Amino acid sequence: MTLTLLAPLSGILVPLESVPDPAFAQRLVGDGVSIDPLSDRVLAPCDARVLQVHRAHHAVTLLAQGLEIIIHVGLDTVMLGGDGFTALVRADDVVRAGDPLLSFDADLVARRARSLLTQVVISNVDRIASIALSTGRVTAGQDAVMRIELAELRATGAAVPQGEAVRSEPITVTAY
């Protein structure tokens, strides 16, 4: 199965290894791409459920087809404590590709944070069989930033992706 992520922002795609932050550049957070933004409204890259909106409103985590997608606006933006950011969704909201997630004051954030580079990463890389990253300029909600081929889960003993429900027959526990 393949999942295509659309650009959450308009801008220029930048390889993660070029991001001046070791957590992203060394792919410690996950694999993906960065965007040097030319817009100030973060859109949902696909149909998903919102897992978390960071308390400083600079990042959002989505769940789509078992993949955890983190969109992190800027570098060191957590230090702003939410100044310049507005969350447009909450945890457990269901969003469609192109729905607005966050907005930010690009001028304020650019002046007070280290960078506006915005990372789009898949944190649970064990669920990825392959990833094809786009390059160049992208338009929010229109152009693909990556195409992800999902890894097959083993039929027996397969781990259930975090955030997904598992249903079974009722279990009876007998007290001794």
Task: Evaluate whether 148 touches 64 at the Cβ level (below 8 Å).
Answer: no
The catalytic site residues sit at: 72
Distance of CA 71 to the CA centre of its chain: 4
CB 134 within 8 A of CB 33: yes
The answer to whether 131 touches 4, Cβ cutoff 8 Å, is no
Distances (CA, A) of 12 to 55, 65, 75, 155, 174: 27, 26, 16, 40, 60
Token pair of 5 as six digits: 């992520």
**How deeply is 40 buried, as exposed, middle or buried, from its count of CB atoms within 10 A (0-12, 13-18, 19+)?**
middle
